[in-house]
């Protein structure tokens, strides 16, 4: 099993060393491998040879079932327990149309995950084993993950950021600490006890840890994905993890690694997402769309029984992000699908959000466009206030006019208690979800 090839070597000298730790118990490598083999035997003796549907709480059983499917060369389909019944039924029906590959492939489809399609319905995508395993060595070197480390994964394994982190940890011979749910107090207690810790996070988790007023010098690497880190996230990360390499990953379900920012925020370039990950090639094609080629790309979307791939004949593909590439690295200006047109002029809301987030009275924000008879789209901002301040429209306008063109300044301002997120912890820009909880300034 190439996903765990490194683990067999790393744990061989001491198979009693902890491999997986959950909220209930610690599993040695010997015990965890036996559990994977037991589940694989059950799956092999069951009906069919197609995808293995996993509808389980995040935890050891989820991870061991995922890896058991991989040992059999069968794709693991990670279903989400919080989906509505129609979504779940549709996802299972979609995956059921996948036709098993010929046995014995040296690089089988091993993972069927889900991303949001244009209809909002979960859309299945497929990955082959090498799209992950080929990134283990460069990621291990970048974040200094080695045998004996403990990798903390406080998010759900139903999301590929944390699932990758668990498999990656085992491949490197590190222990994987799984959590039933994000609990900042529990996580902080354990981070305070580690001497060589690696932590996987999404930016919102930084806020929860920061409220506890502690720092964690035993953490040597922090891997952040799921949303863009704003300046206040970087400030918190430096305070919490004074000895750590903090890496902000840019990628997508379809792309995996694209770039890594270990340098922090750049006030003059708020879209900066770092230098290209080893093995990644990138082209900017008119009108500024980011195209990626690498060994880490997915196989394609599952459409009926066929695999529909957006990867071109030249090996490049895009998810619609727009940006620029310089000798310093990649800077994103926004996503083509988020582009707003107001008064005939293009506005990337991410640019405005990055500048707004730098205002001392703003904790988080999102900018959207709503239909307007004159402007076409009117820019509207939704703000979570900082604890020690209340945003005032005049101050916000003045702040933005020093940093962006006047047509990029929102016309209306609203306060919200929190910014709604998708299941993947990305900003939910749905107007209905924002307006229903907002108070206009």
Quick one: pLDDT at residue 119?
A: 45
Same domain as 98, residue 137: yes
Same domain as 278, residue 353: no
pLDDT beyond 60 at 118: no
Same domain as 205, residue 64: yes
Distance separating alpha carbons of residues 62 and 55, to the nearest angstrom? 8
The tokens 């066929």 sit on which residue? 306
CA torsion sign, 16 to 17 to 20 to 24?
positive
Residue 389 is assigned to a structural domain of this protein: yes
Residue 385 is assigned to a structural domain of this protein: yes
Residue 331 is assigned to a structural domain of this protein: no
Among residues 292, 323, 354, the one where a domain terminates is 323
Same domain as 224, residue 372: no
Same domain as 251, residue 368: no
Residue 205 is assigned to a structural domain of this protein: yes
Same domain as 362, residue 302: no
CA–chain centroid gap for 173, Å, is 23
| Segment among 1-15, 67-81, 316-330 with least mean pLDDT | 1-15
Please give the mean pLDDT across all residues of the chain: 91
Measured from the Cβ of residue 217, the count of other Cβ atoms closer than 10 Å reads 15
Quick one: pLDDT at residue 60?
A: 98
Quick one: pLDDT at residue 151?
A: 98
pLDDT beyond 80 at 346: no
> What residues make up the domain containing 15?
2-323
Mean pLDDT over 172-195 rounds to 96
- Phi and psi at 227, nearest 5°, equal -165, 160
Which tokens belong to 154?
A: 């406080």
pLDDT beyond 80 at 352: yes
Express each pLDDT in 391-439 by its tens digit: 899 999 999 988 888 889 999 999 998 888 776 667 878 888 888 888 8
Confidence band for 9, pLDDT divided at 50, 70 and 90:
confident
Residue 340's nearest CA partner among 306, 369, 301 is 369
Confidence band for 15, pLDDT divided at 50, 70 and 90:
very high
pLDDT beyond 60 at 117: no
Mean pLDDT over 291-315 rounds to 95
Same domain as 353, residue 277: no
Residue 332 is assigned to a structural domain of this protein: no
Among residues 323, 358, 375, the one where a domain terminates is 323
| Segment among 146-155, 168-177, 196-205, 368-377 with least mean pLDDT | 368-377
Same domain as 285, residue 359: no
Same domain as 254, residue 198: yes
Mean pLDDT over 238-247 rounds to 98
Q: Return the CATH number at 424.
A: 3.30.300.30
Same domain as 405, residue 258: no
pLDDT beyond 50 at 125: yes
Distance separating alpha carbons of residues 45 and 435, to the nearest angstrom? 52
Confidence band for 247, pLDDT divided at 50, 70 and 90:
very high
Distances (CA, A) of 186 to 63, 87, 112, 154, 203: 21, 33, 31, 10, 18
Number of domains in the chain: 2
Residue 328 is assigned to a structural domain of this protein: no
The residues with which 321 forms a beta bridge, in sequence order, are 335
Higher pLDDT, 170 or 48: 170
Residue 380 is assigned to a structural domain of this protein: yes
Measured from the Cβ of residue 324, the count of other Cβ atoms closer than 10 Å reads 15
Residue 340's nearest CA partner among 403, 436, 437, 431 is 431
Is the pTM higher than 0.85?
no
Same domain as 353, residue 431: yes
Same domain as 227, residue 130: yes
Nearest-Å Rg of the Cα atoms of the chain is 22
Among residues 291, 323, 355, the one where a domain terminates is 323
């Amino acid at each position: 099993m190439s996903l765990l090839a490194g683990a067999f070597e790393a744990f061989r000298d001491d198979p009693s060393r902890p491999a997986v730790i959950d909220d209930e118990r610690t599993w040695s490598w010997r015990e965890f491998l036996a559990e994977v083999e037991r589940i694989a035997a059950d799956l092999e003796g069951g009906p069919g040879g197609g995808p293995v549907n996993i509808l389980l709480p995040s935890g050891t059983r989820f991870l061991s079932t995922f890896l058991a499917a991989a040992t059999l060369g069968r794709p693991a389909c990670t279903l989400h327990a919080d989906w509505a019944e129609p979504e779940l039924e549709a996802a299972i029906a979609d995956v059921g149309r996948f036709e098993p590959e010929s046995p014995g492939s040296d690089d089988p489809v091993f993972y069927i995950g889900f991303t949001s399609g244009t209809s909002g319905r979960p859309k299945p995508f497929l990955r082959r084993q090498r799209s992950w395993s080929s990134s283990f060595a460069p990621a291990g070197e970048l974040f200094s993950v080695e045998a004996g480390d403990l990798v903390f994964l406080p998010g759900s394994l139903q999301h590929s950021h944390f699932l990758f982190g668990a498999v990656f940890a085992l491949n490197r011979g590190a222990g994987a600490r799984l959590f039933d749910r994000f609990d900042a107090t529990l996580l902080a207690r354990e981070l305070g006890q580690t001497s060589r810790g690696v932590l996987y996070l999404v930016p919102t988790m930084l806020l929860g840890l920061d409220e506890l007023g502690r720092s964690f010098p035993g953490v040597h690497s922090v891997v952040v994905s799921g949303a863009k880190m704003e300046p206040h996230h970087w400030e918190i990360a430096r305070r919490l993890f004074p000895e750590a390499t903090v890496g902000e990953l840019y990628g997508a379900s379809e792309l995996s690694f694209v770039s890594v920012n270990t340098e922090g925020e750049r006030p003059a370039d708020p879209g900066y997402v770092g230098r290209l990950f080893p093995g990644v090639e990138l082209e900017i094609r008119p009108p500024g769309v980011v195209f990626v080629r690498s060994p880490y790309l997915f196989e394609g979307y599952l459409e009926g029984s066929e695999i529909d791939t957006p990867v071109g004949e030249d090996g490049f593909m895009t998810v619609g992000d727009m940006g620029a590439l310089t000798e310093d690295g990649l800077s994103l200006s926004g996503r083509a699908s988020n582009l707003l047109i107001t008064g005939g002029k293009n506005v990337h809301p991410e640019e405005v959000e990055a500048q707004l987030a730098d205002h001392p009275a703003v904790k988080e924000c999102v900018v959207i466009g709503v239909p307007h008879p004159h402007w076409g789209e009117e820019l509207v901002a939704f703000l979570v206030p900082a604890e020690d301040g209340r945003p005032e429209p005049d101050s916000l306008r003045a702040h933005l006019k020093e940093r962006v063109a006047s047509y990029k300044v929102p016309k209306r301002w609203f306060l919200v208690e929190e910014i709604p997120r998708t299941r993947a912890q990305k900003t939910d820009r749905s107007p209905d979800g924002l307006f229903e909880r907002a108070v206009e300034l």
